């Protein structure tokens, strides 16, 4: 399952809810959720821990739009829009966490 999160972990609980409930799959961080994929943020430890259960992706254009492309956590895989489509097509189910 592809878990898509678009809200900042600093202002919403979508990422925490996903990590608490989901058992496995892939996580794609888009829009303001990309802040969670950067080193030095309050959620870095949670993302590193989650990488033991999930493959974590981040939408590269959203990182770049926020000036964060050089701060990505090692092990988080950046994808472009085509990669987003590939992830959605490769997973039987997609869950958007609101």
Mean pLDDT, range 16-29, rounded to an integer:
95
- For residue 74, pLDDT over 90 is answered with yes
Tokens 């472009």 correspond to 80
Q: Do the beta carbons of residue 2 and residue 88 sit within 8 Å? A: yes
CATH superfamily, with its number, for domain 2-97 = DsrEFH-like (3.40.1260.10)
Query: Residue ranges of the domains in the chain?
Result: 2-97
User: What's the CA gap between 11 and 76, in Å, rounded?
Assistant: 21
For residues 67-82, give the mean pLDDT: 97
Could you read off the pLDDT of 30-67 as tens digits, one per residue?
Answer: 999 999 999 999 999 999 999 999 999 999 999 999 99
**Could you tell me if 7 and 96 are in contact, meaning their C-beta atoms sit under 8 angstroms apart?**
no
Do the Cβ atoms of 24 and 52 come closer than 8 Å?
A: no
The reported pLDDT for the residue numbered 98 is: 87
Global pTM exceeds 0.85: yes
């Amino acid at each position: 399952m592809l878990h898509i999160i678009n809200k900042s972990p600093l202002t919403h609980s979508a990422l925490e809810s996903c990590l608490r409930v989901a058992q496995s799959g892939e996580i794609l961080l888009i829009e303001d959720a990309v802040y969670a994929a950067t080193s030095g943020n309050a959620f870095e430890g949670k993302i590193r821990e989650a990488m033991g259960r999930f493959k974590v992706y981040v939408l590269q254009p959203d990182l770049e739009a926020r000036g964060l492309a050089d701060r990505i956590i090692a092990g988080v895989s950046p994808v472009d829009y085509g990669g987003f489509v590939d992830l959605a097509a490769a997973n039987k189910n997609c869950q958007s966490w609101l």
